[in-house]
Amino acid sequence: MIILEKLIVNNYAIIDNIEVNFRPGFNVITGETGAGKSIVIHALNLALGQKADISKIRSGAQEAEVVSRFRIYNDLPAALQIFLKENELPFDGTTLHLKRKMFDTGRSFAWINDKPCSINLLKSLGAFLVDMHGQHAHQQLLNVETHLDYLDNYGNYDELLTTVKERWQNLNFLKNKLTLLLQKQQLNKEKQELWQFQFDEISRVDPQPGELEELEKEQKLLANAERYHELAHRITQSVYEGDETIYNQLQMIIQQLRELNAISHEFDTYLNSLEQTQYLFQELSNDVSNSADNIEYNPLRLEEISNRLEAIFRLQKKYGSNIEDIVKYKHELDEKLNQEGSLEFDIMQVRKSVKEAEKQFLDSVGKLSKVRQKTASSFEKDIENQLIKLGFQHSKFEVKINTFETPNERGIDCVEFYIRTNPGEPMRPLVETVSGGEVSRIMLALKSILAAGDNIPVLIFDEIDTGISGQIARIVGEEMVNLSSNHQILCITHLPQIASLGKTHLAVRKKIVNNRSVTYMENLDEIQRVDEVAQLIGGKEVTESGLNQARELLNL
């Protein structure tokens, strides 16, 4: 069991600071119009992660703070345990503190058990703990789109709902995948001609890695062949083959140095070096001559090289800064040109998957539709029984299920509630038929039959008793008492028939302090409750008759 044990509010609207203690079971909240009953609930909503409104910060204050403390009396529901664990939220096993602060700068902060968290995380946790039902919920009931939610919440087929949703998502994923593949195929077809042209252009040149450097080297040699031969011939003539060659002069110097060295052995080192040098000149002359013999002036080859270099340079401008990039791009083009078969195979496989996923989805949709039809029958009976308890003695309730032309993640069913509140009248859509008071009772009937399977521990009813009175009000109160056996109920009411049934009675008061309105709350004892209920019966002027009626309602 989980209950809202304490609510602390500081500087919110006309609340200076209050600390409210709630108890298990049926808690009623009463007070004069304008005293701030709904403000207390709005403050709680802030602590549950609802949107912050800085205009609600008390005049003169820079910030507002709301803290809600929930007491856990036994094990947490499994889904809530998983939520706390997945989000690494601290938990001592007994309490959950939800805190919210908003500042006049527009900033807002949240904490769970004193750990800072996002507003969305706070809101998600709040959804596990509290179900708020105010007059806006009447409008939800009058929105046909919510009727399917009520039926599904009543039915015990969450696993099937999950299966339908997952299969719908899988089907859409595969359809999107197929669409992308078909778009890619169409794009490939549109670009096929360009790709083929580019591939052929590169293939005609067929550049090879390292080829550019070799061509440029050969081009340089051929372009300078004549000069090369001329220089080689001059070197050979000067070194070895002419009349006054360096070699001959060196030979003469060596001979003279030998004679000089025979007299004095000072020049051994020079003599050895010069003797080696003469062989160096011989080798130089031979190598230069041989190299020149290997270079042939060939204008045709030079033109051929120039043309090929030009072709490679053209490819570089289009497809890459070097031959390696061009070759790589050619391989990519080859893959694109040859992927049509592979792409066609992928499309065929995904089409098969789409067909199978569609079959599985429609199968689960059909099962869901049948389960809903079966559930609708028992749902109708339970609602009718509740409505009889709540004063609709001759009511008839019907769940009409139609089908959409196109299924969606919730199946193929369109649900709308029909009702007849008086005998002899035709069944008509709920949204066109009921009055405000009737909507309140119908909503309470829904809450009553849904509560058994509802894991949300705290239910709050904010003046849903609008439009009812007398014996019906008493019946509505008794139904809330029944709900309080499995849930903590917080009910703001202005009806004595309901207020008198509360296990805990809290009164919202307003007083003037230093020329400012201040809201506060007090937990009423038995005597105070008599006065409070008497005021609800007769207004501010409490009479003995009103007090007696109050005691009677309170069974005192």
* Listed range (224-233, 381-390, 402-411) with the worst mean pLDDT: 224-233
pLDDT of residue 243: 66
Which of the given ranges, 14-28, 338-352, 533-547, has the highest pLDDT on average?
Answer: 14-28
Contact 148, 413 (CB under 8 A): yes
How far, in Å, are 231, 238, 275 from residue 288 at the CA level? 9, 12, 21
> Average pLDDT of 16-38?
89
Predicted confidence (pLDDT) at residue 140 exceeds the cutoff of 80:
no
With 0.75 as the threshold, say if the pTM is over it. no
Residues 103 and 3 both lie in one domain: yes
Q: Is residue 536 part of a domain?
A: no
> Average pLDDT of 291-316?
83
DSSP 242: S
* Listed range (198-202, 240-244, 303-307, 533-537) with the worst mean pLDDT: 240-244
pLDDT of residue 139: 64
Predicted confidence (pLDDT) at residue 344 exceeds the cutoff of 80:
yes
**Edge to edge, what strands does the sheet with 396-408 contain?**
396-408, 411-420, 428-429
> Average pLDDT of 280-300?
78
φ and ψ at residue 207, rounded to 5 degrees: -65, 145
- pLDDT band at residue 434 using 50, 70 and 90 as cut-offs: low
Q: Which residues of 92-101 are buried (b: 16+ CB within 10 A; e: fewer)?
A: eeeebbbbbb
Q: How far apart are CA 37 and CA 533, in angstroms?
A: 16
Residues 11 and 125 both lie in one domain: yes
CATH number where 475 lies: 3.40.50.300
pLDDT of residue 453: 62
Q: Is residue 104 part of a domain?
A: yes
Q: What is the DSSP string of 24-65?
A: SSEEEEEE-TTSSHHHHHHHHHHHTTPPP-GGGBPTT-SEEE
Domain closes at, from 285, 308, 338: 338
pLDDT of residue 135: 55
Residues 229 and 129 both lie in one domain: no
- pLDDT band at residue 339 using 50, 70 and 90 as cut-offs: low
Domain containing 3 equals 1-134+450-524
Mean pLDDT of the chain: 86
Residues 215 and 314 both lie in one domain: yes
Percent of the chain with pLDDT over 90: 38
Residues 117 and 36 both lie in one domain: yes
Q: Hey, which residues does 418 pair with through a beta bridge?
A: 398, 429
CA angle 500, 482, 126 (to 5 degrees): 95
Q: What is the DSSP string of 494-515?
A: --HHHHTT-SEEEEEEEEEETT
Domain closes at, from 338, 369, 401: 338
Domain closes at, from 338, 357, 376: 338
**What is the number of helices (H) and of strands (E) in the chain?**
19, 15
Residues 1 and 130 both lie in one domain: yes
Q: How far apart are CA 258 and CA 106, in angstroms?
A: 106
**Edge to edge, what strands does the sheet with 63-72 contain?**
115-117, 108-112, 95-103, 63-72, 2-12, 15-21, 516-523, 504-513, 26-31, 488-492, 458-462, 130-133
Q: Is residue 364 part of a domain?
A: no
Contact 480, 448 (CB under 8 A): no
Residues 123 and 214 both lie in one domain: no
Q: How far apart are CA 506 and CA 502, in angstroms?
A: 9
- pLDDT band at residue 240 using 50, 70 and 90 as cut-offs: low
- pLDDT band at residue 162 using 50, 70 and 90 as cut-offs: very high
Residue owning tokens 């592979």: 342
206 contacts: CB under 8 Å, gap ≥ 6:
none
Q: Is residue 279 part of a domain?
A: yes
Residues making up the chain, counted from first to last: 556
Q: Is residue 11 part of a domain?
A: yes
Residues 107 and 220 both lie in one domain: no
Q: Is residue 198 part of a domain?
A: no
Percent helix / strand / coil, the chain, rounded to 5: 60, 20, 20
Contact 456, 475 (CB under 8 A): no
Per the structure, the count of domains in the chain is 2
> Average pLDDT of 359-365?
95
pLDDT in tens, 494-505: 899 999 999 999
The separation between the first and the last C-alpha atoms of the chain, rounded to the nearest angstrom, is 30
Predicted confidence (pLDDT) at residue 136 exceeds the cutoff of 60:
no
pLDDT in tens, 41-74: 889 999 999 999 999 999 889 999 999 999 998 8
- pLDDT band at residue 452 using 50, 70 and 90 as cut-offs: low
How far, in Å, are 80, 122, 381, 468 from residue 125 at the CA level? 8, 5, 34, 34
470 contacts: CB under 8 Å, gap ≥ 6:
497
Q: Is residue 487 part of a domain?
A: yes
Which amino acid makes up residue 168?
A: W
Q: Is residue 382 part of a domain?
A: no
Q: How far apart are CA 359 and CA 16, in angstroms?
A: 61
Radius of gyration of the chain (CA): 47
Predicted confidence (pLDDT) at residue 551 exceeds the cutoff of 70:
yes
pLDDT in tens, 165-210: 999 999 999 999 999 999 888 877 777 778 778 888 888 888 888 8
Q: Are strands 504-513 and 26-31 parallel, antiparallel or unpaired?
A: parallel
Predicted confidence (pLDDT) at residue 357 exceeds the cutoff of 90:
yes
